[in-house]
């Protein structure tokens, strides 16, 4: 991490296999610009613990997500890849933020409200989740956070946490900005609703060709017009409008041919990344995570020295 470049940071939960919504909404936007910044890419394992209570699965998912990061082309010498739990300053700072924000403020959290509405357990971690995310971001004086639209409110909450702290204890944290790109902020799933692990409507990022074929063939196509809108919306992530217009004109009403074309276009992007992914060993990935964690911790622990002094716990 250098002193001069602006900081860019994002993170993904290892709560299951990543999907193309994660890729186009957050990972690709990060990949496209990370070389120009002092960049970090986190595996937010303690966030995943709010929903996943299976240690074997969580452990496997952590390694899988790290492999995904490397397979899409992130160079670990140019970005700090680390897992949240390796830097205990994240949970420490989250506690301090918890003491600054109010319960009614957190109760307005969309992510919390949505999960509770779906009948998920309302554990306290899920409730205070945005303050752990604020800590993830603010510990590193992050300026830009590439995310999908569903994280917009979390970044607003992060700015609020920074501002509350700065007012209470003096200027300490930079207020970050979200980077949400038009056209990919909400990638639709195979049913047309937002693609989400929890809705079961995903196209897996690193699925086998069979898994991708099954998902694409399952795209809901009850469109009344000539064009199957749900297929087109996903296809638009892989091909430009001019190419797509010609393809969809030539195959009006031929939904099967259009889905086959989409499968081929997804494969063309994913197959080389899948190959890279298959070549990675667990051991080399563990080393990347360990080294990244050490780098991140150096920054985070220096920041916490200042924070602890400011709140008054350092003697
Ligand atoms: P998570 O793990 O749910 O999702 C990871 C990233 O993928 C984006 N995303 C999408 N983008 C477009 N269309 C979709 N259908 C779609 N589905 C998911 C998400 O917006 C996100 O950017 N709270 C975060 C993780 C987090 C974090 C952070 C992110 C924790 N700390 C600090 C940035 C900075 C989350 O649950 O993402």
Q: 3-class secondary structure for 132-182?
A: HHHHHHHCCCCCEEECCHHHHHHHHHHHHHHHHHHHHHCCCCCCCEEECCC
Asked if pLDDT for residue 273 goes beyond 90, the answer is yes
Query: C-alpha 185: how far from its chain's center?
Result: 12
Residue nearest to atom 31 of ligand 1 (CA): 133
Tokens of 220: 């809901």
Q: With b meaning 16 or more CB within 10 Å and e meaning fewer, what string describes 59-87?
A: eebbbbbbbbbbbbebebeebbbbbbbbb
Element spanning 44, H or E: none
Q: In angstroms, rounded to a whole number, what is the distance separating the alpha carbons of residues 177 and 162?
A: 12
Residue nearest to atom 4 of ligand 1 (CA): 12
Q: Give the Å distance between the CA of 148 and the centre of ligand 1.
A: 6
Q: Give the Å distance between the CA of 288 and the centre of ligand 1.
A: 22
Asked if pLDDT for residue 171 goes beyond 70, the answer is yes
CATH of region 7-186+282-311, choose from 3.20.20.140, 3.40.50.620, 3.40.190.10, 3.40.50.1400:
3.40.50.620
Q: What is the pLDDT of residues 71-120, one digit of tens each?
A: 999 999 999 999 999 999 999 999 999 999 999 999 999 989 988 898 88
**18-32, 158-172, 247-261: least confident range:** 247-261
Confidence at residue 315, expressed as pLDDT on a 0 to 100 scale:
98
pLDDT-derived band of residue 151, with 50, 70 and 90 as boundaries? Answer: very high
Confidence at residue 223, expressed as pLDDT on a 0 to 100 scale:
61
Point out the ligand 1 atom lying closest to the alpha carbon of residue 129: 23
SS3 call for 187: coil
- Rounded to 5°, the CA angle 110-157-127 comes to 50
Q: Give the Å distance between the CA of 249 and the centre of ligand 1.
A: 35
Asked if pLDDT for residue 2 goes beyond 80, the answer is no
What is the chain's percent helix, strand, coil content, to nearest 5? 60, 10, 35
Confidence at residue 202, expressed as pLDDT on a 0 to 100 scale:
98
Q: Give the Å distance between the CA of 122 and the centre of ligand 1.
A: 20
**197-276 fold:** Tyrosyl-Transfer RNA Synthetase (1.10.240)
Q: Give the Å distance between the CA of 146 and the centre of ligand 1.
A: 9
Asked if pLDDT for residue 280 goes beyond 70, the answer is yes
Q: Give the Å distance between the CA of 225 and the centre of ligand 1.
A: 33
Choosing from 137, 150, 155, 188 the residue with most ligand 1 atoms within 8 A of its CB, the one to mutate for a pocket test is 150
Confidence at residue 64, expressed as pLDDT on a 0 to 100 scale:
98
Confidence at residue 255, expressed as pLDDT on a 0 to 100 scale:
92
Longest alpha-carbon distance in the chain: 74
Residue nearest to atom 37 of ligand 1 (CA): 12
Q: Give the Å distance between the CA of 22 and the centre of ligand 1.
A: 7
Bridge partners for 12 per DSSP: 43
Domain ranges of the chain: 7-186+282-311, 197-276
User: Tokens 């298959």 sit at which residue?
Assistant: 278
Tokens of 184: 């990919």
pLDDT-derived band of residue 121, with 50, 70 and 90 as boundaries? Answer: confident
Confidence at residue 4, expressed as pLDDT on a 0 to 100 scale:
85
Confidence at residue 8, expressed as pLDDT on a 0 to 100 scale:
98
Average pLDDT, the chain: 96
Quickly count: other Cβ atoms within 10 Å of residue 24's Cβ.
21
Confidence at residue 285, expressed as pLDDT on a 0 to 100 scale:
98
Q: Give the Å distance between the CA of 191 and the centre of ligand 1.
A: 20
pLDDT-derived band of residue 3, with 50, 70 and 90 as boundaries? Answer: low
Query: C-alpha 114: how far from its chain's center?
Result: 18
Confidence at residue 210, expressed as pLDDT on a 0 to 100 scale:
96
Q: Give the Å distance between the CA of 13 and the centre of ligand 1.
A: 7
| Residues in contact with ligand 1 (CB, 6 Å cut-off) | 9-13, 21-22, 25-26, 44, 47, 133, 136-137, 145, 147-148, 150-151, 154, 184-187, 194-196
Residue nearest to atom 34 of ligand 1 (CA): 10
* pTM as predicted: 0.96
Residue nearest to atom 20 of ligand 1 (CA): 148
Asked if pLDDT for residue 1 goes beyond 60, the answer is no
Tokens of 137: 């971001």
Q: In angstroms, rounded to a whole number, what is the distance separating the alpha carbons of residues 45 and 62?
A: 7
Hey, do 7-186+282-311 and 197-276 end up sharing a CATH topology, with the first three levels equal? no
Residue nearest to atom 9 of ligand 1 (CA): 22
Point out the ligand 1 atom lying closest to the alpha carbon of residue 133: 31
Q: In angstroms, rounded to a whole number, what is the distance separating the alpha carbons of residues 75 and 111?
A: 31
User: Tokens 């004086």 sit at which residue?
Assistant: 141
Asked if pLDDT for residue 274 goes beyond 80, the answer is yes
């Amino acid at each position: 991490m250098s002193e001069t470049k602006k900081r860019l940071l994002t993170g993904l939960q290892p709560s299951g296999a990543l999907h193309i919504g994660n890729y186009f909404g957050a990972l690709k936007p990060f990949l496209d610009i990370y070389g120009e910044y002092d960049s970090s890419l986190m595996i937010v394992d303690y966030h995943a613990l709010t929903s996943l209570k299976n240690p074997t699965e969580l452990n496997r998912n952590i390694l899988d997500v790290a492999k995904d990061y490397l397979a899409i082309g992130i160079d670990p010498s140019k970005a700090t890849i680390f897992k949240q739990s390796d830097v205990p300053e994240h949970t420490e700072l989250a506690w301090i933020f918890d003491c600054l924000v109010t319960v009614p403020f957190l109760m307005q959290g969309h992510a919390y409200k949505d999960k509770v509405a779906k009948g998920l357990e309302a554990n306290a971690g899920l409730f205070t989740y945005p303050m752990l995310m604020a800590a993830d971001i603010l510990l590193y004086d992050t300026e830009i956070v590439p995310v999908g639209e569903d994280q917009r409110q979390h970044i607003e909450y992060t700015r609020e946490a920074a501002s509350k702290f700065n007012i209470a204890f003096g200027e300490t944290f930079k207020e970050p900005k979200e980077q949400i790109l038009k056209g990919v902020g909400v990638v639709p799933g195979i049913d047309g609703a937002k693609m989400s692990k929890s809705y079961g409507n995903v196209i897996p990022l690193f699925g086998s060709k069979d898994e991708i074929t099954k998902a694409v063939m399952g795209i809901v196509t009850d469109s009344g017009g000539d064009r199957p809108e749900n297929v087109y919306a996903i296809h638009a992530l892989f091909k430009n409008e001019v190419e797509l217009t010609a393809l969809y004109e030539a195959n009006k009403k031929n939904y099967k041919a259009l889905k086959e074309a989409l499968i081929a276009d997804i494969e063309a992007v994913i197959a080389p990344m899948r190959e890279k992914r298959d070549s990675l060993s667990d051991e080399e990935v563990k080393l990347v995570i360990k080294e990244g964690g050490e780098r991140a911790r150096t920054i985070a622990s220096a920041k916490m020295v200042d924070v602890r002094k400011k709140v008054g716990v350092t003697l």
